[in-house]
Amino acid sequence: MIHLSIAATHEIKRLQSKQPTKNLLRLQIKSGGCADWLYDLSFDKIVRPEDQRFDINGISLVIDTTSLNYIQDLLVDYSEDLMGGAFRFHNSQATSTCGCGNSFSVNAG
């Protein structure tokens, strides 16, 4: 299951209001970043055959089945500091994370 904090939910809805034709939030895991894998959030309007759809806090979230293998029990949070705002990912499957917090590694197996 994927979890969105209240702060993340508010920020996603704020950003989504600027994308009126794209009513889905897409979360993908892509190869790259400092530590093997990278979180990628974007807005979309198409549910693909390989997607699973979740309705969380009034947000329609789609995740492809391959990405789901890396993010079971993921918590997406949002916070602001002196450098600005950013989404924070808390992944119980990650064995290490990059300092930026957007990249992670998992044990193969």
Q: Is the pLDDT of residue 34 over 80?
A: no
Please give the pLDDT value at position 58: 96
Instruction: Report domain 3-105's class.
Output: mainly beta
Identify which has the larger pLDDT, 73 or 98.
Answer: 73
pLDDT band at 42 (very low <50, low <70, confident <90, very high): very high
Q: For residues 7 and 76, is the Cβ–Cβ distance under 8 A?
A: no
Q: How far apart are CA 80 and CA 77, in angstroms?
A: 10
pLDDT top residue among 8 and 31: 8
Task: Yes or no: say if 91 and 74 are a contact pair by the CB < 8 Å rule.
Answer: yes
pLDDT in tens, 13-25: 999 999 889 999 9
pTM confidence score: 0.88
Q: Give the model's pLDDT for residue 101.
A: 65
Domain ranges within the chain, ordered by starting residue: 3-105
Rounded to a whole number of angstroms, the distance between the first and last alpha carbons of the chain is 21
Beta strands in the chain (DSSP E): 3-4, 24-31, 37-44, 51-56, 59-64, 75-81, 84-90, 96-97, 103-105
